[in-house]
């Protein structure tokens, strides 16, 4: 009797396991249709798992990313520029071979890099918001379209020279949004060279003060 029951349970597990890829594919196809058939104003309010799929991330990684962005970026009633730029520094670091991490989580949890991530537990207790989630979506778009200098891998709230790094090391001022100073630094790795061939630190210009990345039309501020 026990062997028969065990056989039945094993068969059920096999059937369920075989069906899981099909269920996952159906769910992702539904996400794809939802995303492609929507406006940005509609996408802004979509569930986190749909936005995560649109960015090629797992839901858990996307949620953690959004928490860090919410904690590190500035809240603004008019735009989400600072949060998008914080997200872009993460994506630029992942692509640049001079940095040791290639995934969102390993980049965010690298010791001493993001103040809102606990150095010992590697957790982030900030609550995410719709603004921080949307900032990630826009950052991926801008990264794919190469809209911002790919050498922008540093930011802090203390100034363009960081905590103690001298400008002689190659830093160049790039942008100031929401209390964060964003800097670029020379790199000739394969990724940076292919994204911006012929890049020269001397040609770097500060982005203007009126540079803004807005929420979708008709969407108000949604931050904590």
Residue 224 lies in a domain: no
Q: What is the pLDDT of residue 1?
A: 56
Q: Tell me the percentage of the chain whose pLDDT exceeds 90.
A: 78
Residue 8 lies in a domain: no
What average pLDDT does the segment 166-173 reach? 68
Provide the residue count of the chain: 224
Q: How does residue 209 score in pLDDT terms, banded at 50, 70 and 90?
A: very high
Tokens 């992942």 label which residue?
Answer: 94
Q: In what order do the strands lie in the sheet with 152-156?
A: 152-156, 180-184, 172-177
Residue 16 lies in a domain: no
Strands 172-177 and 152-156: unpaired
Q: What is the pLDDT of residue 171?
A: 85
> Which tokens is 50 given?
């749909």
What average pLDDT does the segment 187-214 reach? 95
Check residue 74 and report its DSSP letter.
Answer: P
Range of the domain at 98: 56-203
**Spatial distance between the Cα atoms of 206 and 173, rounded to a whole number of angstroms:** 6
Residue 30 lies in a domain: no
Number of domains in the chain: 1
What average pLDDT does the segment 214-222 reach? 96
Q: What are phi and psi of 14, to 5 degrees?
A: -60, -45
Residue 81 lies in a domain: yes
Q: How does residue 58 score in pLDDT terms, banded at 50, 70 and 90?
A: very high
What average pLDDT does the segment 194-199 reach? 96
State the CATH number of the domain containing residue 89.
Answer: 1.10.10.2520
Residue 24 lies in a domain: no
Using DSSP, state whether 214 is helix, strand or coil: coil
Q: Does 214 or 17 have the greater pLDDT score?
A: 214
**Spatial distance between the Cα atoms of 180 and 155, rounded to a whole number of angstroms:** 6
pLDDT tens track for 118-154? 999 999 999 999 999 999 999 999 999 999 999 999 9
Residue 101 lies in a domain: yes
Q: Does 198 or 170 have the greater pLDDT score?
A: 198
Tokens 């994204």 label which residue?
Answer: 195
Contact 106, 113 (CB under 8 A): no
Residue 14 lies in a domain: no
Check residue 163 and report its DSSP letter.
Answer: T
């Amino acid at each position: 009797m026990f062997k028969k029951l065990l056989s039945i349970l094993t068969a059920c597990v096999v059937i369920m396991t075989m069906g899981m890829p099909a269920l996952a594919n159906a769910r992702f196809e539904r996400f794809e249709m939802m995303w492609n058939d929507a406006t940005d104003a509609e996408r802004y309010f979509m569930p986190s798992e749909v936005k995560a799929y649109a960015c090629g991330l797992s839901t858990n990684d996307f949620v953690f990313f959004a928490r860090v962005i919410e904690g590190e970026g500035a809240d603004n009633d008019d735009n989400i520029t600072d949060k998008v730029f914080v997200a872009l520094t993460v994506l630029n670091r992942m692509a640049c071979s001079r940095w040791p991490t290639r995934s969102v989580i390993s980049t965010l949890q690298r010791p001493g890099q993001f103040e809102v991530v606990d150095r010992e537990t590697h957790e982030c207790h900030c609550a995410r918001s719709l603004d921080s989630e949307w900032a990630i979506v826009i950052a991926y778009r801008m990264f794919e379209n190469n809209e911002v200098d790919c050498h922008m891998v540093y930011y802090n709230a203390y100034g363009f020279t960081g905590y103690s790094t001298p400008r002689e090391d190659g830093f160049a001022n790039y942008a100031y949004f929401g209390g964060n100073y964003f800097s670029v630094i020379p790199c000739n790795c394969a990724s940076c060279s292919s994204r911006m061939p012929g890049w020269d630190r001397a040609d770097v210009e500060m982005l203007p003060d009126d540079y803004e990345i807005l929420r979708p039309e008709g969407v108000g501020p949604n931050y904590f």
